[in-house]
Structure 1
Amino acid sequence: MPRLEEITPENLSTAVDIRVSPEQEPFVAPVMASLAEAYASRHTAWPRLVYDGDRAVAFIMGNFDPDNEVDAFRCGIWRLNVAAHEQRKGYGRFAVHALCEEAQRRGHRRVTVLWEQGEGGPEAFYLRLGFKPTGEVLYGEVVGELPL
């Protein structure tokens, strides 16, 4: 059964070792870059590792910033990296659902995500989970939302 754990000094190197498949690399920042961003946004960022038993299989980072001037950045998924050899096992879905549960716990009514379109990109994954494009494009990426 998968579970989430906070990033700690003990699992930091495990987190940065998570690598997506080569064709996905253009669509998601490496975990190291995400953790640097989380450090800079430490009051709003929510980075977590997904474990299955003692194996770290994925990384997700959300952002909870209800006062952000950009609506799409108030509650959303900033990163999702599922290890290349662990894909198609439900870990990404688990991570997104766990983030949505955290969002609901915090009183949010929707979760957003931005994705770049293209072959190997995450669009189909997010659409399968129920995210719908809002019609907005930020930084060249589609804004999707999922009502909670």
Structure 2
Amino acid sequence: MLRLEEITPDNLSAAVNIKVRPEQEGFVAPVVASLAEAYASRLTAWPRLVYDHDRAVAFIMGNFHPDNELEAFRCGIWRLNVAAEEQGKGDGRFAVMAFCEEARRRGSRRVTVLWEQGEGGPEAFYLRLGFKPTGEMLFGETVGELLLG
């Protein structure tokens, strides 16, 4: 039974204790860095924990900023950290789909994500979910998009 929860003082420790596999650490910032970024951009950032019953199993942070000068940053996933021991169970897919539902609720028809190329990186995961590379690169990363129906 998966669900999303906002980050609060009560679950902050659970959030920062989510660690990805060692070979993935070069592809995604630690949750604590993401939360600092969310705090700094609190008007547009959307950080959430994924729970499986009473266990925090993943963290997702997106951004909703429809007026951003960069189209890729108007509605996008900034971070996805799935706990190493929880990977392959559908928690990441759930987090991305929940973000997409929130995007639809807000009137967005397109979700973007940036990923770095490389072995152990998230590209295959996002492609399986239906994201397609746009051909654009930002900060050395591939921009992918998912058009919402």
Query: TM-score scaled by structure 2?
Result: 0.99
Matching residue of 1:93: 93
Matching residue of 2:135: 135
Alpha-carbon RMSD: 0.3
Give the alignment of 1:114-125 within 5 angstroms: 114-125=114-125
Distance (Å, rounded) in 2 between the aligned partners of 1:12 and 1:26: 23
The amino acid across from 1:32 in the alignment is V
Q: Which runs of 5+ in 1 are unaligned?
A: none
SS in 2 for 1:127: helix
The amino acid across from 1:42 in the alignment is R
Q: CA deviation at 1:62?
A: 0.5
The amino acid across from 1:34 in the alignment is S
Distance (Å, rounded) in 2 between the aligned partners of 1:57 and 1:65: 27
The amino acid across from 1:95 in the alignment is A
Q: CA deviation at 1:8?
A: 0.1
Matching residue of 1:9: 9
Give the alignment of 1:28-39 within 5 angstroms: 28-39=28-39
Matching residue of 2:105: 105
Matching residue of 2:55: 55
Q: Deviations along 1:29-67, whole A, 9 cap, x unmatched? A: 000000000000000000000000100000000100000
Distance (Å, rounded) in 1 between the aligned partners of 2:79 and 2:88: 17
Q: CA deviation at 1:28?
A: 0.1
Task: Give the ranges of 4+ consecutive aligned residues of structure 1 lying more than 2 Å apart after TM superposition.
Answer: none
The total of aligned residue pairs comes to 148
SS in 1 for 2:47: strand
The amino acid across from 2:91 in the alignment is Y
Q: Deviations along 1:86-144, whole A, 9 cap, x unmatched? A: 00000000000000000000000000000000000000000000000000000000000
1:23 aligns with 2:23: yes
SS in 1 for 2:14: helix
Distance (Å, rounded) in 2 between the aligned partners of 1:70 and 1:76: 11
Distance (Å, rounded) in 1 between the aligned partners of 2:104 and 2:57: 24
Distance (Å, rounded) in 2 between the aligned partners of 1:30 and 1:115: 15
Aligned-residue sequence identity (percent) comes to 84
Q: Which runs of 5+ in 2 are unaligned?
A: none
Query: TM-score scaled by structure 1?
Result: 1.00
